[in-house]
Chain A
Amino acid sequence: MTGEITAELERDPVYVVRTPAFDGPIELLLTLAQRAEVDLRAISLASLTDDYLRAIEQAQPPLDRLAAFLVIGARLVQLKAAGLMPEARVGEEDDLQAWEDAIKGRLEEYKRFKELAESLMRRHASGRFTFAGLLEPDVIPQARVQVSLDALASAFRQVLDRLPPPGQVTVEMEQVSLGEKLEELRQMLARQAQLNFSAIFRHARTRLEAVVTFLALLELIRIGEARVAQVSAFAEITVHAQERKETE
């Protein structure tokens, strides 16, 4: 029946569909959909109908054309609905009732989930999150986990605590030059562009040497040849080599 109608109207299309997924006479859309050569799931029949209603408001086509659209439209809806039920083939009139029931069940199921989705959305929008103590880097981006002066100072404190306390023993004058330490750090960073904070103190034997090394690090940060970072809260602070900016 529909075949005859489409054949008859092929010369003068009932309506030309313009969607991103299909562009052409609606009769062709139906033919292709029947042959499963076009995916109806990609086409919004509701907006297609809206477009059509807008179009006929202007054009006011004769009644037989309106009827033809209705027949084609109904068949498209049926095919699209059938697409929601991959396991059932449509068309046989005898199992139409079973098919209708199954479709109804499927639509009800979808409707239930749509309602649940809305309640999930409201819950999410309420912002009542729970937070883990250690947050994943994508929750607090790394860029934001910057090393505060306090964190740097307390990391240095730990380095100092590992080294022998200043005894009243040696009076021997120790010579540690800031310039030498600066050079040493530069070389370390040239060999390895990323170092753990503790690693730069590995060779420090005395507190004075550690203090000078720390001053050298601060100097490198100040002149822009190094920066410190921390991948997440409480993680080890790392020292990174950096291109010196030629500004200022």
Chain B
Amino acid sequence: MSSMVEGATQVRDTTGLAAALEAVLFTLNRAVTILELQDILQSPLPDIEAAATSLTEALAGRGLFLQRHQDQLQLVTDPAQADVVRRVLRPEYPSRLSPAAYETLAIIAYRQPLTRARIEEIRGVNCEAVLESLEEKGLIEETGRLEAPGTPRLFGTTMRFLQILGLSSLNELPPLPQSGSTSS
């Protein structure tokens, strides 16, 4: 295994690695973790990060788009091409969510990971049903458990969340409006 790798290994500059990354993401056609990519591309983490940045830049103005959610990368179509892709695929995404769902999504997106109790504290109402529905739609998922009595589930957003909003990453969310008192 390692001898094969040695044979194939060559000094790749960032552009070359970005091209390799593009090829891998295209063929795998799913969200791929940075850890997996380190193994596939036989490159250390900083090189993968640099390649991802380089690929994002290279794809500017093109039909494809690099999406990054936490430690996952995925090659998707550019949000600017949504209309034409929709014409081809006629996807059946829910076009609208309830106001409660958007509120809950906003809280999770900015405060993740967090527990249902924390979400309910902010919204002041029971959120069980709305969380269940968001999880079912694949917009949020359990990201772990809080080390506290009852080990409550921690929720976070998903790649699908970025897809329905056409965001390249969570960093692209509008900034959290600041108030007088800084949040914890």
Contacts and interface: CB of A to CB of B under 8 A. Distances in A.
Nearest to A139: B91
B56 interface: no
Contact of A135 (B82, B89, B103, B125): B89
Interface in B103-129: 103, 105-107, 109-110, 121-126
A120 interface: yes
A84 B181 CA distance: 18
Contacts of A115: 177
Given A130-B65, A138-B138, A140-B91, 17 more contacts: A116-B110, A117-B99, A121-B102, A123-B166, A129-B79, A129-B82, A129-B86, A129-B164, A130-B82, A131-B77, A131-B85, A131-B163, A132-B74, A132-B76, A134-B29, A139-B91, A140-B89
B151 interface: no
Tell me if A's interface is mostly helix, strand, loop or mixed: helix
A165 interface: no
A154 B140 CA distance: 39
Contact of B99 (A84, A121, A131, A132): A121
Tell me if B's interface is mostly helix, strand, loop or mixed: mixed
B122 A113 contact: yes
Contacts, number: 126
B32 to A, nearest CB: 12
A189 B90 CA distance: 33
Interface of A: 41, 83-84, 86, 105-106, 108-110, 112-121, 123-136, 138-141, 144
